[in-house]
Amino acid sequence: MQLHLSTWPEIETYLQTSTGIIFPIGSTEQHGPTGLIGTDAICAEVISKGVAEATGALVGPTINVGMALHHTAFPGSISFKPSTLILLIRDYVSSLAKYGFTKFYFINGHGGNIATLKAAFSETYAYLDDLKIPNADRVQCQIGNWFMCGSVYKLAKELYGDQEGSHATPSEVALTQFAYPEAIKKAPLSEEVSHQHKIYGAADFRRRFPDGRMGSNPDLATPEHGQKFYELAVKELSNSYLEFLSAE
C-alpha cells in the first residue's frame, strides 16, 4: 500500500489497524561511470515496496534527495544541506503524527544520510513535544540501512571480495540492474581506483576518487545478483520492521 496512491479514507482505515509507515530515503548523486545517479533512492524504494508487500505496511513517498554534498563536484548530483534534511524529516513526521502515526521506519540507501537522520529524529522529538500533539511521546523513528543487513553484507563479500568497495559498489549497482534492466550502463573503468575511505568536501572527493568510485568494481554486478540482494534485504528488513512495530 502506497500513500500517494491511496485516498484519505483508505489511510483513515489503515490507521485503525497500524500506526506504522515506511519511508524510502536515498540520494541523487553520482555512482561512478556506470552507476545510475538515482541508485540510492532506487534501492531504497524497491526494497521498501517489497517490505510493504511482506508486512502489509504503508509506504510513504520516496525521499530521493539526501545529504550528498561531497558528491556535488560531479554533474547531476543534488544534495540537501544537513540542516535542510533535518527540517524535511521533522516536517514529514510531524505532519503524519497529527493523524496518529507513531512508528516511522526509514529504509535508507545512502550512508551519508545516517548521521543527519539520527540528528533529525532528535530534532523531531523535541519539536513534537513543543507542539503538544496527542501521543507525541509515543512517536518513534528508526533507520534500516539495507546495505548493512548482515545477509546482504555476507553475500557481497562472497561475490565480490575486496572489489565491493564502499561507493558505486557492485551490490547496489546489481540491485538497480534488477529493478531497471533496461537502464544497465556500460563504460570503460580505469584499472586503478582509490581504496581510501576519507570524505571531506566535494572538490577534495573528486581529487581522491576521480571517476567517483571508492574501491569498487561495478562491472561485477548482474541483475541476477541484484535479485538475490533484494530478496535478502526484504526478508531481513521485514523482520526488523515488524519488531519495531511491536516494541514499546
Tell me how far CA of residue 136 lies from CA of 8, 18, 143, 175, 230, in angstroms. 22, 16, 19, 37, 34
- What does pLDDT average to over the chain? 96
C-alpha distance across the termini of the chain, in Å: 24
CA distances, 119 to each of 115, 187, 199 (Å): 6, 38, 19
- What is the per-residue pLDDT for 98? 94
In this prediction, residue 3 carries a pLDDT of 98
Share of the chain above pLDDT 70, in %: 100
Residue 196 has pLDDT above 90, yes or no: no
Spatial contact of 47 and 237, defined as CB atoms under 8 Å apart: yes
Could you tell me the pLDDT band of residue 248, with boundaries at 50, 70 and 90?
A: confident
CB atoms within 10 A of CB 222: 16
Give yes or no for residue 225 having a pLDDT over 90.
Answer: yes
Residue 12 pLDDT: 97
Summarize pLDDT for 109-153 with one digit per residue, the tens. Answer: 999 999 999 999 999 999 999 888 888 899 999 999 999 999 999
Full set of structural domains in the chain with CATH: 3-246 (3.40.50.10310)
